[in-house]
Chains A and B, each alone.
Chain A
C-alpha cells in the first residue's frame, strides 16, 4: 500500500518536475523549428507570424519582442566562426564575401540575448551597407575587432561570447525558393588576445 503511494508520488514528481523544466528550457533556449541556415548564419523567417511553431510563439511572448515582418526584413544570426568555434568578443574576425539581395543591411555585435553591445568611446554601434568600402568585384571585408582596424571596422568591447547580427531589409530572402544561391560573408578568426 505504502509502496504504491510512493510510486505514484515518484510518477507525479517526474511529470511535474520534468514537464516544467523541459518547458522552461525550451521556451528560454530553443529558437523554434524551420531555421534557415546559410553558412554560419541562421534566420527564422516565420518568427513572430501566425505560421510560427508553438515554441517560437512561446519565446516571442516571453521576450516581448516584435519581430520583423516579411516585407520589412530578416535578421540572420551567427554564433560560431567557420571552424565551428564560438565567437568571442576578445577575438578579431574577418567577414568577407558578399551579401544576399536586399535594399540594404546592417551588421552589429550582440550578446547571446541578442542585445547590441556597447561599442564604447563614441564608436559606431553598427555598420550598414551604404557606408562600407567594397572591392572591385563588389565584395567586402569587415573586420570585427576590439582594436582599431583599417577598412571596415566593427568595434567590440568586453569579454565573453557574442553574436553577430546581420539584418537584411526589404529582401526576398525569406520567401525565395532559390535559397541555394544565397551567399553570406564567411566568418574567419584572425587572432585572439587574452
Chain B
C-alpha cells in the first residue's frame, strides 16, 4: 500500500514538473507564434497587410473587424529601424514586439509628435550614438530603446465605415519601414 502511494506521489510530482517545463518552453518552440505568422506574409523591412487567414494549419487571427493593420519585421542588430507614415486618419496606433511576440512599446496618434507616425527602434548601444548625433531624417522621431535584435511592428488603424477604407489602406500601404542609415 505504501509503495502504491509513493508511486502516485512520484507520478504527480513528475506530472507537475513536465507541466511547468511544457508551459515555459512553448513560447520558444511554438512554430505558429506571431513571428512565424508575420514571416508568412513576406520579407522583412517591408509592411504587409495583416489578414485573418493564413496558410492552413494555423489558427485564424482574432481581429477587430473595424480595423486594418499592417506589420513589418526588422532586424536591428546592425542598424536601427525607422518607421514612418503620412496621413490623417481617425485613429492609428503602433506596437513594437520582440521576437517572442511580446508587446514592449506602444504609441497612438495622440501621444505621437504632431500626430505623425515617425519612430525609431534602436538597441541601447545604437541609442547612445543617436543621442550624440541624430540623423536629419530622424530629427522629430520618437526614439524607442529596445534590448533585442529581431522584432516587428504592427500598425493598426480604425475604419469607422467603408468610406474610410481606401484612405486607411493607402496610409498602411505607404507606411515605410527601413533601416536608419
Contact = CB atoms under 8 A, between A and B. Distances in A.
Nearest to A58: B26
Interface stretch (A91-99, A100-108, A184-192): A100-108
Contacts of A27: 22-23, 26
Contact of A12 (B11, B37, B156): B11
Given A60-B101, A63-B59, A15 B64 contact: no
A86 interface: no
Taking each of B11, B71, B101, which has the highest tally of chain A beta carbons within 10 Å of its own beta carbon?
B11
Given A62-B26, A69-B93, A14 B15 contact: yes
Interface in A23-74: 23-24, 26-27, 48-50, 52, 54-55, 57-58, 60-73
Contacts of A83: none
B42 to A, nearest CB: 16
B161 A131 contact: yes
B32 interface: yes
B136 interface: no
B14 A62 contact: no
Contacts of A58: 23-24, 26-27, 30
A18 B15 CA distance: 5
B7 A113 contact: no
Interface of B: 3-4, 7-8, 10-19, 21-24, 26-27, 30, 32-34, 36-37, 52, 58-67, 71, 91, 93, 95, 97, 100-108, 110-111, 154, 156, 158, 160-161
10 smallest beta-carbon distances between A and B, as pairs: A69-B106, A15-B14, A19-B18, A14-B11, A18-B15, A23-B22, A125-B65, A114-B62, A58-B26, A72-B93
